[in-house]
Amino acid sequence: MKFSLTWLKDHLETEATVAELAAAMNRIGLEVEGIEDPAERLAGFTVAKVLTAAKHPDADKLQVLTVDTGAGDPLQVVCGAPNARAGMLGVLGQPGAVVPSNGMELRKSAIRGVESNGMMCSVRELELGDEHDGIIELSDDAPVGANFADYHGASPVFDVAITPNRPDCMGVYGIARDLAAAGMGTLKPIAMPEFAASGACPVAIRTDDPEGCPAFYGRVIKGVSNGASPDWLQQRLTSAGQRPISLLVDLTNYVMLAYGRPAHAYDLSKLTGAVAARRAKNGEKVLALNEKTYTLDDSMTVIADDAGVHDIAGIMGGEDSGCSDGTTDVLLEIAYFDPDRIGATGRKLGLSSDARTRFERGVDPEFLDDGLDLLTGLIVELAGGEASETVRAGAAPSKPKIVSFDPALTERLGGISVEPAEQQRILESLDFAVDSGSSPWSVTAPLRRHDIEGPADLVEEVVRIFGIDDVESVALPRVDGVALPTASAEQKLERRVRRAAAGRGLNEAVTWAFLPVPEAEQFADGAKLWVLDNPISEDMKAMRPSMIPGLLAAAKRNMDRGASSLRLFEVGRRYFRNTDGSSNEKPTLGVVLAGEKQPRGWATGKAVPFDAYDAKAEAIALLSEAGAPVEKLQVMGEAGEQFHPGQSATLRLGPKNVLARFGALHPKTLEAFDVDGPVVAVEIFLDAIPGKKGAASFARTTYAPPPLQPVMRDFAFLVPADLPAGDLLRVVKGADKANIIDARIFDEFRGQGVAEGKKSIALEVTLQPGEKSYTEDDLKAISDKVVAGATKLGAELRG
């Protein structure tokens, strides 16, 4: 909600500065989201007088003006406004000033060969309204040379967030009331304009829906003169972000923004017969003021006459009965609508408005008569006319909430000691009626305070006005000694792999643990899914049996929005249903790599996509960080039908203990998720990783480099073409664990010189001597062990 300092001072007598008022609002629970000073945007704009106006020598629609700015010699300005003339006073933007409407910085320039020292400005250019047919014309008493911001009365504008439980502060007057209670000034009484009401209302007004509209008040004003609003009214509406429309419309908006009381004005000539609040009929339609047509049903309350619907009650008026410049007779309507009905109607129609925001939170039911009289008086004062008597159909809720309140509760609940007399003053300044003669007190809440339910709410009122900053910060008691660690081994493992994945450049995703049933079945692998009986939606019915579907969906969303390379991971749980009906949760790390591994470039040519080897590298690196014995892992097939059979595998400890699966996802899987490939994925089953034995494995050890340099030896073996290279590598590493510290494959060859059905694999083996260097006999003995181990796999040493 926005309002200017000038508007606030209409209701609050205060000498406080803008900063002090903002601090006070924040302190009492009215969060100030921003403060804007229009004077800053109007810097460099001056009140100026046009001395002469002559036709431009080279342009029919331009004039050359001489302008007095009150500071030295007159300036020459080229102007295209049709109303520019000698003797008028306007607003000159001098070189260096920035035009608010478009951000253009004014400079001295030549227009059609004639020098121009700035620009005479229109209302729209200074964002003071929509007028742009001519330049601003100021009154004859405007001081030439004055800063236009000062002359115009530009006032700082507060932008305050009002929580849904405080509809009483959805008007400037309500905020002024809170500030006055907080000691920031004195609340001014509402200045009710005087007018004479005579004669019965010529329109019958009734409520045929007492549940949706308990109270419906109205009166007619005849002989009004609609037109533009006065400057003070336009300035207040503009500060609130409202566009001035016409006097009648602006005054209804003014009463709503100033006092939180929505109202509506109908053009009487466009109404037929009686006006009533009633239930809509199924299929009825109304053209609203936003120029959209809405189809209604019988759960909605409307304002209608004998001809049809004219207003979606409490939300938006209709276009057919709205006021125009030619309106002379109006029907004013002010009502109390059921908040639940308004909220349900707005949600069903997808229609929001300032009126709905206030009605669905609950307006002040006591402000019906005063609100109608206030609006009537303003119209009669500014637009003329003769008002009828008020017609009152129904009655608004009038039973106040009475709360039994013990002032000692403030210290027990709020943690702050406040004298009972001060508590009574605070509550009474907020219009609570306090009977302190009884024990406990009897406190009657004003009807507008729909948020007051019990004593705790009164404590909140006292504490926020007295000062939350005065509540002492008290540490919770703590037992002496060193706290025991609380993280389990499983939690520590998850933290470790999460940090490792992020350190490898992967981006963490947090996805739903729920999936559509078809997507979950894609990754169930025959296991029984855990399906919810009462899901959030049909798309969140099955608990995920794998981390990959959620990551695939995240990858798709990002690629659809232009992401070219995605490296996503997530640590979470997979869910299955045991045969006895209990849940089975498995901690899992999922990784999805999609898009380009390397973008196209002059060195790489085409973009390089991710492949199964990238997935394998991530799997082994993350398993290593998780503490898995990666040197003992076996690469085996059967990654699952979701993966490409020729580009995927599992990592196992033994034939049955699967620690991870990785590889390229099957084209059918990608098609089912509507993802463009290729995409590779990894799934690491954290619960399958064996724990380290003994706490000594975590002890710190001093690094001592070996005294002798390592020795490298190369071996080339002919092996069967279908033998996994990893099997040969594992056997070679285990041939002599005392001396072989590493081995790696550096070549694979098939072709000329290699028999059909065979392939050549070359390995580099690293040997580390201990206390003394190797002799030739030592090296031969180690080599014999390597060859013997490889022979068991059907390998033979190449000559």
Indicate the annotated binding residues for Mg(2+).
Answer: 451, 457, 460-461
Residue pair 50/85 in contact by the 8 Å Cβ criterion: yes
Nearest CA-CA partner of 569 in 515, 502, 651: 502
Nearest CA-CA partner of 447 in 371, 363, 373, 368: 363
- Please tell me the distance from the alpha carbon of residue 547 to that of residue 554, in angstroms, as a whole number: 11
Query: With b meaning 16 or more CB within 10 Å and e meaning fewer, what string describes 286-321?
Result: bebbeeeebebeeebbbbbbeeebbbbbbbbbbebb
Residue pair 215/392 in contact by the 8 Å Cβ criterion: yes
- Please tell me the distance from the alpha carbon of residue 123 to that of residue 132, in angstroms, as a whole number: 6
> What is the CA angle 555-561-564, rounded to 5?
65
- Please tell me the distance from the alpha carbon of residue 107 to that of residue 95, in angstroms, as a whole number: 4
Q: List the strands of the sheet with 309-312, edge to edge.
A: 205-207, 275-279, 301-304, 309-312, 316-317
- Please tell me the distance from the alpha carbon of residue 431 to that of residue 445, in angstroms, as a whole number: 7
- Please tell me the distance from the alpha carbon of residue 104 to that of residue 425, in angstroms, as a whole number: 53
- Please tell me the distance from the alpha carbon of residue 720 to that of residue 697, in angstroms, as a whole number: 40
- Please tell me the distance from the alpha carbon of residue 98 to that of residue 41, in angstroms, as a whole number: 7
Other CB atoms within 10 A of residue 454 CB: 11
Half-sphere exposure of 437 (CA within 13 A, CB side): 2
The owner of tokens 């109006």 is 330
- Please tell me the distance from the alpha carbon of residue 639 to that of residue 617, in angstroms, as a whole number: 16
Nearest CA-CA partner of 733 in 666, 593, 633, 655: 633
- Please tell me the distance from the alpha carbon of residue 619 to that of residue 688, in angstroms, as a whole number: 14
Nearest CA-CA partner of 249 in 310, 316, 184: 316
Residue pair 674/519 in contact by the 8 Å Cβ criterion: no
**Contacts with 244 (C-beta within 8 Å, 6 or more apart), sequence order:** 129, 228, 229, 233, 234, 237, 238, 250
Which H/E stretch holds residue 496? helix 489-503
Residue pair 609/567 in contact by the 8 Å Cβ criterion: no
Which H/E stretch holds residue 148? helix 148-152
- Beta-strand ranges (E) seen in 527-564 are 542-543
Distances (CA, A) of 169 to 178, 363, 407: 8, 10, 25
Distances (CA, A) of 199 to 206, 220, 224, 271, 483: 18, 10, 16, 20, 82
Task: Could you list the residues known to form a binding site, using ranges.
Answer: 451, 457, 460-461
Backbone angles phi, psi at 318, to 5 degrees: -95, 150
- Please tell me the distance from the alpha carbon of residue 754 to that of residue 719, in angstroms, as a whole number: 10
DSSP calls for 188-203: PPP-PPP--B-S--SS
User: What sections of 153-214 are H helices per DSSP?
Assistant: 172-181
CB neighbour class for 607 (10 Å; exposed up to 12, middle 13-18, buried from 19):
middle
